[in-house]
């Protein structure tokens, strides 16, 4: 190696040493910088603690710290003075008080507010004022001049409100209370920072001790530099983190309002109502400009507090304050709606669900009563009604979240909204409208087994009667975003929603009819109706052949208006013949001789026969018949368990469905799940091999897992056993039959808003009708023609006879007069029966126009003769006497 190479190597080594040294130095500087930042953050946190100690105190009434507001020795300080002194106390390492609960029981007479047992646990957190005007920029604070409120309060806590009430009662002057309520409740930032939850006292004190350790190395210059930041923070009063606000302490809010409303409402009602109107105005200005990504905890807190006001559904609150809040709330983003739904579904939030719902329902009812609707101004155009409905939607989903969700069989199981049996390649399923709020919440409505409040409490009957469903359906179909109650079906009664479905089917029928007429003009043979010609003694085979051909050649023909003709019989089908057709088909299909369905002994409900020898086409026919019944507004006499309707809406059967499907089996499996003993194998002696009987009484065994007879059910695998057992009975064993059935059903209703409007139990009501045979309702709604009135003697005798009939005979009367023995949705008052005079006294039997629900009744001379002729007509005239 020559000397030049040696020198070069030495230079490279030297350079490497310098670079390494520089790298270490930079790393040290970065570390020191991060350490300084941590120290400065800890210092600011401690200064905040000193600030609140000077302004709010520690909450200890016996405090002896002269630099604490609770001691009574410290004169009131302005925010600027408190901030400056907080920095000085920090630099002196002055004494810092421990925080004490700031909830002191009121002791003056009737103003005492006691905590309920379930509130005591929540009240371990101190509702002190640890936030001042967070979420607000300095410029916003300056523009609103929030630091100079005349009442001196920038927010409220439970204790502050108690103190103000006590002070006002002592002086017999409520001006301070009125002024404070007006200022806090009219301002978004002030109200958002009121009644907040705080960290626990222990964690807060540990945090303070940790911060003191972090700042030990902070020199005087660095402490002094924090004072230079005073100008930056003076408007926000050394405000805490602006990332988010803590949630509202709901029990504290309720106790505070309870104390407030023990006073005469007239004292503060006007001030509070006016403040809410101003608050709503501020929200209407701000909300449209906000985005989902913006932090909106302030809006969430504001609405949570406002809707806790006890009198929101009465007086001036109902007429002025609540409508203003509702109008502002229509601008809420999906994110805010989801946060509200989660809060109102929480253990403490759900306590207010019914009260909030009743207030909003009261507002809607009031607006429906006092508003004059006309052809140019419909219910859908009333802004208060529509905005209140949007708020009720949030409550509706909160009610679902607060209910009993599946599955109690497997506690950690999370059900999914879309099941694979409906995936492409198996059965095509129409995708219903999905509410963005449902997506945001990650919710599947069918996962709720029992809501917190009954679904019926969300119906508003007065509103449902006022809604013009033809107009609402037009809005639903409109592409310009008009409001439609069909997107808020929870508020409409099933009878009103049925009208929406009726308009949808009729428009499709008319559309198909127009297409047929146009095809006829061009010379293409076409039929504007779905015509079926069948024989009474061979109705299933005839219907199967015709419907199968139609479904294969042109499935859209199934959406035409159904017209049925019985071979060899005269009559024009205006609805009555179709009703009889459906009834006869259902009777044949569920005939045990066909063995397509089995009947559960305990419940008399029908279910698919797993070992049926019938082809898939037969089950497809049943699905088509069920769909056609809905499409043509015909009620069927079927008795399916609820799990069928859930499966039709895309949800697989699960353990909970066994309660309705086979309650004896469900209770047995529930005992297995509830058993905690170590001897479960000896007590139940159950393996993963199950046995069941087919329709012929033959016992069939099935292994839920491979070699199931060798796997015993234990404490560890019992949940799996129950889940697999239910899945086999309700899904796997009848998968072939149900898939064919579902395919036929979807052929008819795939484009229908059925799933949008109805829950599974409402679909059962839609198909099977009501079970409430209230003939008093039918009597009140019946109309008369041909000279009869409700005072005519024969009419009085007729109703006396009808009310004395057995339930079976009453069903036969319905069958005779309307073509169906089922009660329509909404009850018999919706039937619109007409009794018409059919001549003077004679020996003729009564007859009926089942298409129009008209009973033709001769004016018999006596009650006995009327009863004899009527009973003969309803018992022996099947296929006859009905026109």
Dist. CA 856–CA 785, nearest whole Å: 10
* CA proximity to 489, closest of 824, 764, 756, 767: 756
Say yes or no: 648 and 543 in one domain.
yes
Could you read off the pLDDT of 306-328 as tens digits, one per residue? 999 999 999 999 999 999 999 99
Indicate whether 466 pLDDT > 90: yes
Spell out the long-range contacts of 386-391 with Cβ–Cβ below 8 A and sequence spacing 24 or more: 386/330, 386/483, 387/326, 387/327, 387/329, 387/330, 388/326, 388/360, 388/363, 388/364, 389/364, 389/485, 389/488, 389/491, 390/329, 390/330, 390/332, 390/488, 391/326, 391/329, 391/360
Cβ neighbours around 587 below 10 Å, total: 12
Has residue 486 got a pLDDT over 80?
yes
Residue 789 inside a domain? The answer is yes
Q: Please tell me whether residues 676 and 713 are part of one structural domain.
A: yes
Based on the domain organization, do 757 and 638 belong to the same domain? Answer: yes
Apex 207 CA angle, 205 and 208, nearest 5: 65
- Other C-beta atoms closer than 10 Å to the C-beta of 751 total 12
For the chain, helix (H) and strand (E) counts, in that order, are: 37, 12
Q: Are residues 349 and 441 in the same domain?
A: yes
At residue 360, the pLDDT reads 97
Predicted local confidence at residue 21, as pLDDT: 47
Query: What is the structure's pLDDT at 115?
Result: 39
Pick from 29-43, 56-70, 132-146, 249-263: least confident: 132-146
- Residue 883 is predicted with a pLDDT of 39
DSSP structure class, residue 53: H
Residue 310 maps to a domain: no
Please report the DSSP string for 285-352 in residue order: HHGGG--TTS--HHHHHHHHHHTT-TTTTSHHIIIIIHHHHHHHHTT--HHHHHHHHHHHHSTTGGGG
pLDDT given at position 208: 54
Instruction: Give yes or no for residue 144 having a pLDDT over 70.
Output: no
pLDDT at position 41 is: 65
Look at the block and give the residue holding tokens 């999914």: 416
In this structure, is residue 214 part of a structural domain?
no
Q: What is the maximum alpha-carbon separation in the chain?
A: 143
Pick the last residue of a domain from 491, 518, 540.
Answer: 491
- 3-class SS of residue 519: helix
Residue 874 vs residue 11, higher pLDDT: 874
Q: Check whether residue 35 and residue 174 sit in a common domain.
A: no
For position 741, what pLDDT does the model report? Answer: 93
Provide the pLDDT for residue 59: 65
Pick from 485-489, 800-804, 845-849 the range whose average pLDDT is largest.
485-489
* Res. 119: pLDDT tops 50: no
User: Exactly one of 63, 193, 409, 851 is catalytic; which is it?
Assistant: 851
Is residue 210 assigned to a domain? no
Q: Do the beta carbons of residue 447 and residue 406 sit within 8 Å? A: yes
211 inside domain: no
The stretch 562-579 carries a mean pLDDT of 74
In Å, how far are 92, 381, 834 from 332, measured between CA atoms? 48, 19, 50
pLDDT surpassing 90 at residue 162 = yes
- Residue 235: predicted pLDDT: 37
Residue 176 neighbours by CB distance under 10 Å: 17
Return the sign of the alpha-carbon dihedral for residues 216, 220, 222, 228: positive
pLDDT of residue 203: 46
Q: Are residues 599 and 726 in the same domain?
A: no
Which residues are CB-contacts of 690 (< 8 A; sequence separation ≥ 6)? 701, 702, 704, 708, 725, 728
Please check the confidence at residue 116 and state whether its pLDDT lies above 50.
Answer: no
Task: With cut-offs at 50, 70 and 90, classify the pLDDT of residue 140.
Answer: very low
Whether residue 465 is found in the same domain as residue 374 = yes
841: its two tokens: 């006294």
Same domain for 858 and 871, yes or no, is: yes
pLDDT at 507 over 50: yes
Which residues partner with 531 through β-bridges? 563
pLDDT at 489 over 70: yes
Contact 722, 672 (CB under 8 A): yes
DSSP state of 429: -
* Number of other residues whose CB lies within 10 A of the CB of residue 402: 23
The rounded distance, in Å, linking the Cα atoms of 179 and 274 is 12
Mean pLDDT of 864-882: 73
What DSSP designation does 572 have? -
Question: By mean pLDDT, which of 145-154, 545-554, 868-877 is the weakest?
Answer: 145-154
Do the Cβ atoms of 332 and 292 come closer than 8 Å?
Answer: no
pLDDT value, residue 7: 43
Residue 305 in any domain: the answer is: no
Question: Which two structure tokens, joined as six digits, stand for 355?
Answer: 């009260």
The alpha carbon dihedral of 434, 437, 442, 445 has a sign of negative
CA distances from 93 to 47, 48, 70, 240, 410 (A): 10, 14, 19, 21, 56
Q: Average pLDDT over the chain, rounded to whole?
A: 79
pLDDT band per the 50, 70, 90 thresholds, residue 15? low
pLDDT at 124: 35
Q: Is 259 a domain residue?
A: yes
Residues 6+ apart with CB under 8 A from 784: 790, 792, 795, 834, 835, 836
Cβ contact 559:748 at 8 Å:
yes
> Based on the domain organization, do 601 and 742 belong to the same domain?
yes
| pLDDT in the model for residue 244 | 65
Domain boundaries, position 757: 503-653+735-768
Name the residue with tokens 């002194």.
Answer: 85
Which residue from 654, 662, 724 is spatially nearest to 687, judged by alpha carbons? 724
Please give the pLDDT value at position 267.
Answer: 93
At residue 291, does pLDDT exceed 60?
Answer: yes
149 versus 728: the higher-pLDDT residue is: 728
Q: Tell me if 560 sits within 8 A of 594, measured CB to CB.
A: no
CB burial of residue 369 (10 Å; 0-12, 13-18, 19+)? exposed
Distance linking the first and last C-alpha atoms of the chain: 122
Average pLDDT over residues 450-467: 95
pTM of the predicted model as reported, rounded to 2 decimal places: 0.72
Q: Is the pLDDT of residue 236 over 70?
A: no
* Calpha distance 482→7 (Å, rounded): 86
Q: What number is the average pLDDT over the span 45-58?
A: 76
Cα–Cα dist 150/153, whole Å: 8
Phi, psi of 373 (to 5 degrees): -90, 145
- How far, in whole angstroms, is CA 143 from its chain's centroid? 40
Instruction: Please give the pLDDT value at position 848.
Output: 83
The confidence score (pLDDT) of residue 28 equals 47
Return the DSSP state at 760: H
Residue pLDDT, tens place only, 688-729: 999 887 766 778 889 999 988 899 999 999 999 999 999 999
240 closest CA partner among 134, 155, 139, 128? 134
**Residue 416 pLDDT:** 35
String of DSSP letters for 843-877: SPPPEEETTTTEEEE---SSHHHHHHHHHHHHHH-
CA contacts within 13 A on the Cβ side of 380: 20
Residue 598, SS3?
A: strand
Which CATH number do you get for residue 676? 3.30.2160.10
pLDDT of residue 759: 93
| Region 482-486 average pLDDT | 93
> 91, 117, 139 — which closes off a domain?
91
Q: For residue 6, what are the CA distances in angstroms to 14, 107, 462, 527, 670?
A: 12, 93, 101, 104, 88
pLDDT (average), residues 158-175: 93
Indicate the residue among 675, 703, 730 that finishes a domain. Answer: 730
Query: pLDDT at residue 148 above 90?
Result: no
Is the same domain home to 539 and 679? no
Name the nearest CA neighbour of 695 among 807, 776, 614, 785: 614
Ranges 69-73, 740-744, 879-883: which has the least confidence: 879-883
pLDDT tops 60 at residue 271: yes
63 in active site? no
Decide if pLDDT at 179 tops 90.
yes
Those residues with Cβ within 8 angstroms of residue 550's Cβ, 6 or more apart along the chain or in another chain = 530, 557, 558
Can you tell me the distance from the alpha carbon of 626 to that of 586, in angstroms, rounded to the nearest whole number? 9
Instruction: Give the CB-side neighbour count of residue 406, counting CA atoms within 13 A.
Output: 19
Q: By C-alpha distance, which of 151, 148, 28, 29 is closest to 79?
A: 148
What's the CA gap between 69 and 61, in Å, rounded?
A: 10
486 and 551 inside one domain: no
- Strands 561-566 and 854-857: what pairing? unpaired
Q: Same domain, yes or no, for 661 and 615? A: no
Give the chain's domain count: 6
Residue 168 lies in a domain: yes
Q: How high is the pLDDT of residue 878?
A: 54
Q: How far apart are CA 569 and CA 441, in angstroms?
A: 57
Could you read off the pLDDT of 396-432 as tens digits, one per residue? 999 999 998 875 443 333 333 334 344 333 444 555 6
Task: Tell me what pLDDT residue 774 has.
Answer: 79
Q: What is the model's pLDDT at position 97?
A: 78
């Amino acid at each position: 190696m020559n000397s030049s190479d040696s020198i070069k190597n030495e230079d490279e080594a030297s350079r490497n040493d310098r670079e390494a040294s520089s790298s270490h130095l930079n790393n040290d500087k970065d570390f020191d910088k991060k350490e300084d930042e941590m120290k400065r953050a800890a210092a600011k946190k401690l200064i905040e603690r000193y600030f609140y100690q000077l302004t709010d105190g520690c909450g200890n009434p016996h405090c002896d710290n002269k630099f604490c507001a609770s001691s009574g020795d410290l004169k009131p300080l302005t925010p600027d003075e408190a901030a400056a002194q907080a920095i000085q106390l920090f630099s002196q390492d002055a004494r810092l008080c421990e925080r004490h609960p700031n909830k002191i029981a009121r002791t003056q007479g009737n103003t005492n507010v006691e905590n309920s047992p379930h509130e005591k646990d929540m009240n371990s957190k101190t509702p002190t004022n640890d936030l001042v005007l967070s979420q607000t920029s300095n410029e916003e604070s300056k523009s609103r001049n929030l630091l100079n409120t005349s009442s001196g309060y920038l927010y409220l806590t439970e204790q502050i409100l108690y103190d103000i009430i006590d002070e006002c009662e002592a002086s017999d002057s409520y001006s301070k209370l009125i002024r404070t309520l007006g200022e806090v409740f009219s301002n978004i930032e002030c109200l958002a920072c009121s009644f907040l939850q705080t960290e626990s006292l222990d964690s807060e004190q540990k945090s303070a001790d940790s911060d003191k350790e972090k700042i030990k190395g902070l020199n005087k210059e660095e402490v002094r530099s924090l004072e230079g930041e005073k100008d930056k923070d003076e408007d926000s009063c050394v405000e805490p983190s602006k990332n988010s606000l803590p949630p509202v302490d709901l029990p504290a809010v309720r106790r505070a309002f309870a104390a407030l409303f023990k006073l005469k409402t007239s004292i503060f009602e006007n001030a509070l109502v006016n403040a809410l109107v101003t608050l709503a105005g501020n929200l209407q200005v701000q909300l449209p400009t906000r985005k989902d990504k913006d932090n909106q905890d302030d809006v969430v807190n504001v609405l949570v507090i406002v809707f806790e006001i006890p009198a929101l559904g009465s007086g001036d609150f109902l007429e002025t304050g609540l409508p203003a809040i509702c109008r502002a709330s229509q601008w809420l983003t999906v994110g805010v709606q989801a946060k509200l739904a989660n809060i109102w579904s929480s253990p403490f939030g759900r306590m207010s669900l019914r009260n909030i719902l009743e207030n909003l329902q009261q507002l809607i009812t009031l607006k429906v009563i006092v508003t004059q609707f006309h052809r140019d101004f419909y219910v859908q155009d009333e802004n208060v009604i529509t905005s209140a409905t949007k708020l009720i939607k949030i409550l509706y989903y909160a009610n679902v979240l607060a209910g009993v969700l599946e599955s109690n069989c497997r506690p950690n199981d999370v059900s999914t909204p879309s099941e694979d049996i409906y995936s492409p390649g198996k059965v095509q399923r129409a995708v219903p409208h999905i509410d963005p709020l449902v997506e945001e919440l990650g919710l599947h409505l069918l996962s709720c087994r029992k809501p917190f409040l009954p679904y019926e409490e969300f119906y508003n009957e007065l509103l449902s009667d006022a809604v013009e469903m033809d107009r609402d359906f037009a809005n639903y179909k409109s592409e310009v975003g008009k409001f439609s109650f069909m997107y808020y079906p929870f508020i409409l009664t099933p009878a009103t929603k049925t009208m929406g479905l009726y308009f949808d089917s009729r428009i499709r029928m008319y559309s198909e009819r127009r297409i047929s007429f146009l095809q006829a003009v061009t010379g293409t043979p076409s039929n504007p109706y779905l015509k079926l010609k069948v024989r009474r003694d061979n109705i299933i085979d005839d219907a199967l052949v015709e419907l199968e051909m139609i479904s294969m050649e042109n499935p859209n023909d199934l959406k035409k208006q159904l017209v049925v003709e019985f071979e060899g019989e005269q009559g024009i089908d205006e609805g009555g013949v179709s009703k009889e057709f459906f009834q006869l088909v259902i009777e044949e299909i569920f005939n045990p001789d066909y063995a397509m369905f089995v009947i559960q002994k305990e419940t008399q409900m029908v279910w698919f026969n797993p070992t049926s020898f019938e082809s898939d086409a037969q089950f497809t026919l049943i699905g088509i018949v069920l769909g056609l019944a809905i499409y043509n507004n015909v009620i069927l006499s079927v008795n399916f368990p609820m799990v069928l309707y859930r499966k039709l809406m895309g949800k697989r059967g699960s353990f909970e469905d066994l309660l309705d499907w086979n309650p004896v089996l469900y209770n047995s499996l529930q005992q297995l799940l509830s058993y905690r003993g170590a001897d479960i194998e000896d007590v139940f002696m159950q393996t993963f091999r199950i046995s069941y009987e087919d329709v012929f009484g033959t016992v069939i065994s099935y292994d839920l897992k491979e070699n199931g007879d060798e796997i015993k059910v234990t404490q560890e695998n019992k949940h799996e056993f129950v889940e697999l057992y239910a899945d086999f009975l309700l899904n796997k064993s009848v998968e072939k039959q149900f898939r064919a059935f579902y395919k036929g059903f979807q052929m008819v209703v795939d484009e229908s808003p059925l799933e949008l409007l109805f829950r599974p139990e409402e679909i059962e009501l839609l198909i099977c009708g009501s079970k409430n045979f209230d003939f008093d309702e039918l009597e009140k709604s019946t109309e008369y023609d041909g000279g009869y009135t409700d005072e005519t003697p024969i009419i009085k005798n007729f109703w006396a006879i009808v009310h004395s009939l057995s339930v079976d005979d009453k069903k036969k009367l319905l069958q005779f007069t309307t073509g169906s023995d089922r009660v329509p949705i909404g009850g018999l008052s919706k039937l619109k029966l007409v009794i018409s005079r059919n001549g003077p006294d004679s020996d003729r039997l009564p007859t009926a126009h089942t298409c129009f629900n008209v009973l033709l009744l001769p004016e018999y001379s006596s009650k006995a003769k009327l009863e004899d002729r009527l009973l003969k007509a309803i018992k022996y005239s099947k296929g006859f006497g009905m026109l």
